[in-house]
Each structure stands twice: as structure tokens, then as C-alpha cells.
Amino acid sequence: MTQILSPTMIGAALVGGYLLGSIPFGMIATRLGGAGDLRAIGSGNIGATNVLRTGRRDLALVTLLGDGGKGAVAVFLAWLATRNGTTEQQALLTALAGGAAFLGHLFPVWLGFKGGKGVATFFGTLLAAAWPIGVAAGATWLIVAFLFRISSLAALVAVAVAPVLALALGRPNAIALLALFMALLVYIRHAENIRRLLKGQEPRIGKKSAATSGETTGE
């Protein structure tokens, strides 16, 4: 039996996805772990890279998994809700839920709409929505990071590749649009990193920059 998406189901995916994405795992991990207020550390961002500046690798790992996982959970719940529907319906609802979770991470209601830059959530969402694309994007990040030793450059190349791969591999249009939507927002949120890259001032992995407080991925 073909399932028809209802306005209620779409609304639940959007609101639920956004609320999931809004969970500030970095803030929660550092507070519960006794590492202080993340907003007063390093770049002030809520992602795993900034959590790592507390010196707590365990908390950074929790943040990385949490930020990636919340996008994946939003997609998975949407997938469950449409498991009896068509491929197009399933792709549409998972894309809406994943996109909403991504927005929630970037603009969390709990933190005055000031969130992270979305790299971990991008990968978690994409891995759940279309794992071959997520794996390929992750491999791209690793290759670029190995060659150039610049984390932000690796992230920017990886997210740009994702929507192209989605189209090339014949994924549903909704998934390709999700990848494009997230990639555009990652670029917007990395405006400062892009300016430093163009000036040759973006710090390399493992090196600190006084001007940027060691900020490379923007998380």
C-alpha cells in the first residue's frame, strides 16, 4: 500500500528534525564534564574542534558523535515513518528531516540561534540519508586533508563533491538537493575560513594561529 505524505507527517519531520539538531552536544559535554563554558573557550563555537581546545579528547569525541548522530537520527526516524511508502516519498521526508536537523545545529533555538558550522552534522546526515555519498565525501575529506593539511579546505571540498556525486550516482532529487542545501550553508558559515584560505593564512592541521585561536574547521 502506497503511503501518502500528510502535512502532519511533514510538519513533524521538520519540527522534530530541527529540535534534534538544536541539541548543543558540545555545550552539554563540556558542562557535564567540568570543562567550563564552551562559549568562553577558543573560537567560542559549539563543535568538536573547539571542545578539543579544552584538552579533553573524550568530550570532543562525544561532541563529534553527538553532532553527527543527531542528523542521522532525524533521517532514520523519517525513514521509519515512510518505510511503507515509495522511494520518492521516503527520500523527500528524510531530506526534509535531515535538512531541518542541519538547520537546528547551525541555528539552535536554545542558544539564541548561534550554533556551529555544520561539518559533523553534514556527514552524519548524509551518511544516514545516502551512505555511499557520505562515505565518498568522507574519503574526499581525508584525501584533501592528507595532501594539504588544512581541515577547513578538506571540509569545503568534501561538501562540494557530495551533491555532484548524488546526481552522478542517480540518487533521488531530494537527496541531491539536501546535499546541495547543506553544502551551501557550510560555505556561508565558513566565510572567514574562505577569506583566510584565499590569503594563504588558514592554519594547517596541528599548527596554531594566534589570529584564529587555532580555528580550522570552524566548529
| pLDDT above 60: residue 134 | yes
Q: CB–CB of 210/44 below 8 Å? A: no
Residue of 36 and 132 predicted with greater confidence: 132
Banded pLDDT at 55 (limits 50, 70, 90): confident
Supply the pLDDT for residue 118.
Answer: 95
**The pLDDT value given to residue 219:** 61
> What pLDDT score was predicted for residue 216?
46
Residue 4 has pLDDT above 80, yes or no: no
* Mean pLDDT (the chain, rounded): 91
CB 117 within 8 A of CB 217: yes
Given CA atoms 100, 190, 181, 76 in this order, what sign does their dihedral have? negative
The answer to whether 21 touches 71, Cβ cutoff 8 Å, is yes
CA 28, CA 22: separation in Å to the nearest integer?
12
Q: What's the grid cell of residue 108? A: 539552535
The Cβ of residue 63 has, within 10 Å, a number of other Cβ atoms equal to 29
pLDDT band at 206 (very low <50, low <70, confident <90, very high): low
User: How buried is 86 (Cβ within 10 angstroms: 0-12 exposed, 13-18 middle, 19+ buried)?
Assistant: middle
Nearest to 219 by CA among 135, 124, 134, 100: 124
| Residue 183 backbone dihedrals phi, psi, to 5 degrees | -60, -45
pLDDT of 45 reads: 85
Q: Is the pLDDT of residue 33 over 60?
A: yes
The pLDDT assigned to 2 comes to 56
DSSP state for residue 3 in the 8-state scheme: P
Looking at residues 179-186, what average pLDDT do you find? 98
Enumerate residues 6+ apart whose C-beta is below 8 A from 208.
214
With a cut of 80, say whether residue 218 has pLDDT above it: no
pLDDT of 36 > 90? The answer is: no
Residue 50 has what pLDDT? 86
